[in-house]
Amino acid sequence: MKLWVYGCCMSVLLAACNNRQQAGDTQHNDSAAVYLTTPDERQLFAQQAALGVVKDTAVINLRMDTSRRFQEIEGFGAAVTGSSAYVMQQYMSPTQRQALLEDLFGTEKGIGINYIRMSIGASDFSTSPYSYDDMPAGQRDDSLKHFSIEHDEKELVPVLKQVVAINPGIHIMGSPWSAPGWMKTSGKLEGGSLRPDAYEVYARYFVKYIRAFGEEGIKITALTVQNEPQYEALYPTMKMTAPEQGKFIRDHLGPLLEKEGLSEQTKIMLFDHNWNSPEYPISILDDSLIAKYTAGAAFHCYEGAVGAMSKVHDAHPEKGLYFTECSGGSWSPVFADNLQYMVRQLLIGTINNWSKNVLLWNMALDEKNGPTTNQPGTGTGNRGCMTCRGVVTVNSNGGGVTRNVEYYALAHFSKFVRPGAKRIYSSALPEKGIENVAFLNADGSRVMVVVNTTKEERAFSVSEQRGVYQYVLAPGAVVTLVWR
């Protein structure tokens, strides 16, 4: 049964039922479009009957105020990893791949994803470990003569070109899992730190990366200096302390991007790790000589609480905050649980804690949650995430696509909250089991996303500039309301 029917069965909403339109493309100026996902998966980002203005209000009243504006939104999306590109290129026909990319990135018929992340060289979701300048053991390449993105030209570059063709304004963030091994204390991609005598050449490595992809028509709009700098593993990783990262940005990367005329195109972001260490980016931003080169700080979800982002905002409100990674996986198989966590914490939570974007982990993986980076010489995964789930799953036999809970969670935001939108004031009523966030797009349209975090139906009203609108939301369900 569609959720709007539940509402019509409640006397408090009889007036609303009389004013609702049937779902469709037509929307009156005084109505709100409705898109619903329910935890039982009977409704999956499905358009419902539109809401009309009513006189009465429900017990739970939400108020929107477009005059109270906060951070600008840059986009929503996920990472197009080497593995994501591989499954799209190797398992799908050109027609299948184009259809999937249009569904993900198209703004008319698709869900309008406008921000993606890619690894600079290999991550734990690449088909093999590599950098853009690998050298034999004991040899260096300080001139970067051997720099090449050839490894990515088979799968990643073609996919990114298709994405850019569909959405020319796409934001693309680059994040390294490791510098080339010869620049590191470990002498290899796995583990270790950046050697002080390699800071200058590593900055030039970033410039070559930006330009090489730029020559392919792929504009890199943001960089994080190091993915998860507090972590080492048996796949490409590199530790980098806050003082080390600050020095690298202040003395090398920041000035070089500025000198090369790339600082306006490509923003530098700090940290790119978990919520449990807000002191890491704060300590760097406290130094004005470093802060002037940075757009702000990036966070992951795996440890700590989302409120850490507001701690950084409170310390440095002049800087942006970004949410750049979180993955669902087979450890959490229940759709309803994942829907609520992702919408409540990763989307509503991060945005209400000042994030300008929301990125999940792999855009696409196969039915075995891979491929993951192989341990050299073994042909086996090397302790990266073997249970991570993609936004979509591409079947290795025939290229069929399964849209996972991540897809629907993102769609509730990416489809209607366009780049340049501002978060606006909306009533915060978590104690009543209704959590929400609201936006004002540049074209004047307004968007509110609401999740019911209780085990009971919740009737609520929204006071918007054109009137009052009512809705009844099933337990655990998510709804997006759009005023055009």
Note whether 55 and 177 are same-domain residues: no
Q: Where are the beta strands (DSSP E) in 191-312?
A: 222-224, 267-274, 294-300
Structure confidence at residue 336 (pLDDT)? 98
Structure confidence at residue 466 (pLDDT)? 87
Condensed to tens digits (0 to 9), the pLDDT of residues 323-343 reads 999 999 999 999 999 999 999
**Domain of residue 279, residue span:** 74-414
CA distance 64 to 259: 44
Residues marked active site are found at: 228, 325
Burial class (CB in 10 A: 0-12, 13-18, 19+), 364: buried
> Do 321 and 297 contact (CB within 8 A), yes or no?
yes
Note whether 132 and 273 are same-domain residues: yes
Distance of alpha carbon 295 from its chain centroid, rounded? 17
Domain CATH for 196: 3.20.20.80
Note whether 234 and 282 are same-domain residues: yes
| pLDDT bucket at 24, cuts 50 / 70 / 90 | very low
DSSP string, 382-448: -SS-SSEE-SEEE-TTT--EEE-HHHHHHHHHHTTS-TT-EEEEE--BGGGTEEEEEEE-TTS-EEE
CA distance 406 to 118: 18
Note whether 288 and 312 are same-domain residues: yes
User: Which of 389, 414, 439 is a domain's end point?
Assistant: 414
User: Which of 379, 414, 449 is a domain's end point?
Assistant: 414
Per the omega criterion (within 30 degrees of 0), is the bond before 371 cis? yes
Note whether 405 and 446 are same-domain residues: no
User: Which of 388, 414, 440 is a domain's end point?
Assistant: 414
Q: What predicted TM-score, i.e. pTM, was given to this entire model?
A: 0.93
Task: Identify the CA nearest to 394 among candidates 169, 110, 97, 122.
Answer: 97
Judged against a pLDDT cut of 60, whether residue 391 lies above it is answered with: yes
Q: Which residue is it, tokens 């409540």?
A: 344
Judged against a pLDDT cut of 90, whether residue 297 lies above it is answered with: yes
CA distance 305 to 37: 25
Note whether 223 and 351 are same-domain residues: yes
Note whether 279 and 427 are same-domain residues: no
Judged against a pLDDT cut of 90, whether residue 57 lies above it is answered with: no
Q: Both tokens of residue 300? A: 């992951």
In angstroms, what CA-CA distances link 256 with 200, 261, 263, 449? Answer: 9, 9, 9, 41
Note whether 54 and 116 are same-domain residues: no
Domain CATH for 442: 2.60.40.1180
Structure confidence at residue 465 (pLDDT)? 86
- Cβ contacts of residue 80 below 8 Å, gap of 6+? 116, 117, 118, 156, 159, 160, 163, 363
Note whether 114 and 222 are same-domain residues: yes
Note whether 190 and 275 are same-domain residues: yes
Q: 3-state DSSP call for residue 308?
A: helix
Query: What does the pLDDT average to over 299-308?
Result: 98
Q: Could you give phi then psi for residue 347, rounded to 5 degrees?
A: -105, -70
Poorest-pLDDT segment among 11-25, 33-47, 187-201? 11-25
Judged against a pLDDT cut of 60, whether residue 284 lies above it is answered with: yes
DSSP string, 130-185: --SS---TT---TT-TT---GGGTTTHHHHHHHHHHH-TT-EEEEE-S---GGGBS
> Percent of the chain having pLDDT more than 70?
92
Note whether 437 and 404 are same-domain residues: no
> Do 480 and 50 contact (CB within 8 A), yes or no?
no
- For the chain, what is the domain count? 2
Distance of alpha carbon 181 from its chain centroid, rounded? 29
β-bridge mates for residue 365, sequence order: 393
Cα Rg of the chain (Å, integer): 23
Judged against a pLDDT cut of 50, whether residue 449 lies above it is answered with: yes
| pLDDT bucket at 2, cuts 50 / 70 / 90 | very low
Structure confidence at residue 62 (pLDDT)? 96
Condensed to tens digits (0 to 9), the pLDDT of residues 174-191 reads 999 999 999 999 999 999
Note whether 24 and 145 are same-domain residues: no
